[in-house]
Amino acid sequence: MNGKYKELLSPYTFKNGVELKNRIIMAPMTNFSSDEDGNVTDAEVEYYARRSKDVSMVITACTNVTANGKGFPGEFGADSDEMIPSLERLAKAIKDQGAKAVLQIFHGGVQCPPDLVDGDVVSASEVKDENGEKKARSLSEAEVEEIIEAFGETTRRAIEAGYDGVEIHGANGYLIHQFFSPMTNQREDRFGGSLEKRMAFPLAIVEKVKSVVAEHADPSFLVGYRFSPEEPEEEGFSMGDTLALVDTLADKELDYLHVSLFEFFSTPRRGVEDTEKPRMDYLMETIGDRTPLIGVGSIYSAEDALKAFGTGVPLLALGRELIIDPDWVKKIEEGKEDEIVTEIDQEKQKELVVPDPLWNAIINTPGWFPGV
C-alpha cells in the first residue's frame, strides 16, 4: 500500500469500544430490489455481500418502521416481527464478509407513493401539491407517538436480527426531516412551531431508540443519526437551523452523526455568516470531539478520499463509487489505486453484481452516476 493512504485504512474505535478495521463505510442507498412483501431477495443479498468484504461498515438502504412509511417500491420492510428472518439474512450476508452491519430505519412521510400505503399518505402537517390538491394528511398526536414507538420496535428487530447498529434516517425529505422543516411542519402542538419544538420528534425518536438498545442490546450496539444540511427553498430550514440540531444531537451520546451530501466540499446557501466556507467545516466545528461525523459526497478516486479525510473528518462513506468499483478499498490496500474505476461501465452489470431494478434506475437517470 502507498504510505500516503495508510490513515484512510487505519482502524477507528467508537467511544463504546467497537473497532472498525478502516475508515471507509458503505453509504446507505436505496436499491428497489426486495420482493412485493418486503423480503430481502437473493439479488440484494449478493449485491451487499459483494461490497462488504473490504469496507469496515455497511449502512443498509432505509427500511420502513410502519406499514404506512414505505417510501419506495422494492424496499425491504422492518415493520413487523415477521420481517426478522428477512432482516437477519441481510445482516448475516454483510457480517459474513467482515463488515459491521447497520440497519437504516425511517418513515417516508409525504414521500411515500400512495399505492404503497393504501392511499393514506401522512406528514407532520397537511401537504398540498402545486395544484392545491392534498398530498398528505397531518398526523394526530397519538399517531406521532405510535411512530416514535415503531422506531423503537424496529430497533428491537434489528437487535434480534443480528445487526451491529441502527441509523436513524432524519435526512433527504423523509418524515423526520418533514417534522424539522418549517415548510412541512405547521403544527401547533408540542411537535411544531419554534425551532426547538420542531426538534421534538427527532429527539423523541433518538431517546426511544436508545432506551430500546439499553434494554435489549449490549453496549456494543451502535446508534447513528443521518441529517441533511439545509433545504434549497427559502422557507425551508437553513444551515444555521441544522447546526442547532446537530449541536443538540452531539450531546445525546449517539455513536455517530452522518451528514447527507451530494458533494463533500459543498458550501451553505444561508443561515451562516460565511457561505464560502464548506458545510463540513461548520459541522465539525459544531460537533467538536463529542461524537464522530461521517462525511460523504462524490468521493470517487483515492485522491478524492485523501482530500476529504484531510479535513479532519474521522470516517468517510462511499455510495455510488462502491457500485462503480466494489474493490475500491482492496485496490488501495494492494497499492493499485491507479486501477480504481470512477465511471460506471454500462456493460458490466453482472460483474458488478447490481440487481436489475437498481441498474435500471442508474442507467435511466442521467447525471446521477459518472459515465451515464
Q: Which string of DSSP letters, residue by residue, matches 68-83?
A: GG--STTPPB-SSGGG
Residue 181 pLDDT grade (very low, low, confident, very high; cuts 50, 70, 90):
very high
User: Would the CA dihedral through 77, 80, 83, 87 be positive or negative?
Assistant: positive
Give the Cβ contact number of residue 36 at 10 Å.
7
Which CATH homologous superfamily contains domain 3-363? Aldolase class I (3.20.20.70)
The answer to whether residue 174 is catalytic is yes
Q: Are the beta carbons of 296 and 319 closer than 8 angstroms?
A: yes
High-pLDDT (> 90) share of the chain, % = 99
pLDDT in tens, 250-292: 999 999 999 999 999 999 999 999 999 999 999 999 999 999 9
Helix (H, G, I), strand (E, B) or coil at 359: helix
Q: What is the pLDDT of residues 223-249, one digit of tens each?
A: 999 999 999 999 999 999 999 999 999
- Ordered by start, the domain boundaries in the chain are 3-363
Burial class (CB in 10 A: 0-12, 13-18, 19+), 312: exposed
pLDDT at 158 over 90: yes
Identify the DSSP state of 192. S
Strands 57-64 and 100-106, sheet pairing: parallel
pLDDT over threshold 90, residue 130: no
Whether 337 and 302 have beta carbons less than 8 Å apart is answered as: yes
The answer to whether 203 and 260 have CB atoms below 8 angstroms apart is no
Cα 301 to Cα 63: distance, rounded to the nearest angstrom:
29
CB 257 within 8 A of CB 316: no
Helix and strand element counts for the chain (H, E): 13, 13
Cβ burial 106-131 (10 Å sphere, 16+ → b, else e): bbbbbbbeeebbeeebbbbbebeeee
Closest to 69 measured CA to CA, from 185, 155, 148, 157: 148
What is the Cα–Cα distance from 79 to 295, expressed in whole angstroms? Answer: 29
State the Cα–Cα distance between residues 264 and 180, nearest whole angstrom: 23
**From 5, 163, 174, 300, the catalytic residue:** 174
pLDDT in tens, 295-346: 999 999 999 999 999 999 999 999 999 999 999 999 999 999 999 999 999 9
Strand arrangement, sheet containing 127-128: 122-123, 134-138, 127-128
Query: Which residues lie closer than 8 Å to 93 by C-beta, 6 or more apart?
Result: 45, 46, 48, 49, 52
Q: Give the whole-angstrom CA distance, residue 50 versus residue 372.
A: 22
* pLDDT value, residue 17: 97
User: In the numeric block, which cell numbers belong to residue 68?
Assistant: 404506512
H-helix segments, 96-133: none
Whether residue 77 has pLDDT greater than 90: yes
Cell digits of residue 359: 441498474
- Mean per-residue pLDDT for 159-175? 98
CA dist., res. 232 & res. 236, Å (int): 7
Cell numbers linked to 143:
399517531
DSSP string over 144-168: HHHHHHHHHHHHHHHHHTT-SEEEE
